[in-house]
Structure 1
Amino acid sequence: MLRNFMLVFGLSALIAGCAPLVGVNANSTTPPSAETKKKFQGGTTNMTFSAHGTQVEFLSKDGRTALWYPGNAVVLQGRWRLIGADPTTGFQDNICFQYGANTYNPLTLNYGGNWECEGIALYEGHVVERVAGDPFGLGKRGAVPFVLPRQRTTFSDLLKRRS
């Protein structure tokens, strides 16, 4: 019985450690490091997550975000921001996202509307590639270019498929 409890507790801690933290000082006035600010000047990232699969996300310089999520028919529009050190996450710099209240994150089991933050180091661990600009026009679309598969892919392959 104790062993089962420890297994469940351990798995819960592991999963929680990989998930973004909801409502974590997203309004913090602590600025991120100069290095982090320089790295996040807008652009599009291709990320891979074991639980989500591939995600492509455009981050505009003015704080808007557009997420192309596997299986979705629409691009999720939202907001993003960088914050500095946060004792709740334990990271020096954090990236925070906010999507509409009508959205749902199947990993965290949370509905949108609140800011979700994660350490830059965790976020960067999922980045496969990054390009300047918005090559898929995600920031101006409602519908996705095509339904994104979960499998790991490259911008080159996605651009070929779009054409």
Structure 2
Amino acid sequence: MKQFIPLGCIVLALSGCSRETPRDKMFYELRTQKDVQTPFPSAGYTYASFDTGHGYQIEYLDSNGRAFLWYPGNRSAVSGEWKIVLDEICYRYDSNTFNPQTLQRGGSWSCDYTGRAGYLVTGYQKGDPFNLRSGKIPYARSKCDLPKGLNQVKNVSCK
């Protein structure tokens, strides 16, 4: 009997690994649209990016290195800074901000490979069509709400 327990454990472990997570589905959907070109990251553009944890995030990157984020559920834009360091895009938001996915407070630089970050871009528009620089947002939106006014270049399922 003891011989079969490890085999049973291995079978159960392997079957658990084959389950598709919402994040796996999101990356699969984005991967099938890999030929889409965007000007990310460029100053003077507003981008929509999608992640299963955050939903759609809308951000304007200005030419002075300032970033203005319209985050789902917020009542105002989150201001911060952005810069390119080699092949990474780096953000630093004010120290009074909080990222509910990473459980981290703002105030420190956080960087991501531009290829990965750009992969998550689902729409863009030249300029600041939502006037995020003002610190105000048009409305408090849900994570699955992609506002009109952006050139949507990729589709993802949001639930």
Confirm or deny a common fold (TM above 0.5). yes
Specify the SS of the correspondent of 1:65.
Answer: strand
Q: 1:119 to 1:72 in 2, by over 3 A?
A: same
| Structure 2 Cα separation of the partners of residues 72 and 61 of structure 1 | 24
CA drift of 1:70 comes to 0.1
What is the aligned counterpart of 1:108 among 81, 102, 106? 102
Query: What does residue 137 of structure 1 align with?
Result: 131
Query: What does residue 57 of structure 2 align with?
Result: 55
What is the aligned counterpart of 1:74 among 73, 76, 92? 76
Query: What does residue 125 of structure 1 align with?
Result: 119
Report if aligned partners of 1:46, 1:154 keep a CA contact under 8 Å in 2: no
Amino acid at match of 2:118: E
CA drift of 1:147 comes to 0.6
Question: Is the counterpart of residue 150 in structure 1 residue 143 in structure 2?
Answer: yes
TM-score (norm 1): 0.65
Larger radius of gyration: 2
Alignment size in residue pairs:
123
CA drift of 1:41 comes to 2.8
Where does the alignment leave 5 or more consecutive residues of structure 2 unmatched?
A: 1-9, 11-15, 17-22, 24-38, 151-159
Specify the SS of the correspondent of 1:123.
Answer: helix
| Structure 1 Cα separation of the partners of residues 59 and 77 of structure 2 | 9
1:21-68 per-residue CA deviation (whole Å, 9 max, x = no partner) reads xxxxxxxxxxxxxxxx99513210011111000110000011001000
Q: 1:39 to 1:100 in 2, by over 3 A?
A: closer
Question: Is the counterpart of residue 44 in structure 1 residue 38 in structure 2?
Answer: no
Q: 1:95 to 1:79 in 2, by over 3 A?
A: same
- Identity across the alignment (%): 33
| Structure 1 Cα separation of the partners of residues 112 and 40 of structure 2 | 18
| Structure 2 Cα separation of the partners of residues 124 and 137 of structure 1 | 22
What is the aligned counterpart of 1:99 among 93, 106, 109? 93
1:117-144 per-residue CA deviation (whole Å, 9 max, x = no partner) reads 0010111111011111000000122x32
Runs of 4+ off more than 2 Å: 152-157
Report if aligned partners of 1:57, 1:68 keep a CA contact under 8 Å in 2: yes
| Structure 2 Cα separation of the partners of residues 124 and 154 of structure 1 | 19
**Correspondence 1:12-51 to 2 at 5 A:** 39-51=41-53
CA RMSD of aligned residues (A): 3.1
| Structure 2 Cα separation of the partners of residues 139 and 153 of structure 1 | 19
Moved more, 40-49 or 71-80: 40-49
CA drift of 1:108 comes to 1.5
